[in-house]
Amino acid sequence: MTPEECAQLYHLLALSFACPDAGFAERLTRLIGELRLETWDSDSAGQPILPIAPFIRELAAFDQQKLAQIQHECRRLFAQDRPEALCPAHAWAYRPDLPREALTQAAQSAYLTWGQEIPPARATKLETQLEFLAYLYRQVDDEVARIARRDFLYQQALVWLLRFADKVVLMTRLDFYRAAAQLLTAFLKLEAGAQFGAI
3-state helix, strand, coil in the chain (%, to 5): 70, 0, 25
Cα three-residue angle 169-183-31, rounded to 5 degrees:
130
List the chain residues with pLDDT less than 70: 38-48, 80-83, 194-199
Helix orientation angle between 24-35 and 52-60, rounded to the nearest 10 degrees: 140
How confident is the model at residue 47, as a pLDDT? 63
Q: Sketch out the chain's domains with CATH numbers.
A: 3-192 (1.10.3480.10)
Q: What's the half-sphere exposure (Cβ side, CA atoms, 13 Å) at 152?
A: 28
How confident is the model at residue 111, as a pLDDT? 94
How confident is the model at residue 199, as a pLDDT? 43
How confident is the model at residue 156, as a pLDDT? 87
What tens digit of pLDDT does each residue of 1-45 get?
788 888 999 999 999 999 898 888 888 888 888 877 766 666 656
d(CA 189, CA 187): 5
How confident is the model at residue 164, as a pLDDT? 97
pTM of the model: 0.90
How confident is the model at residue 127, as a pLDDT? 95
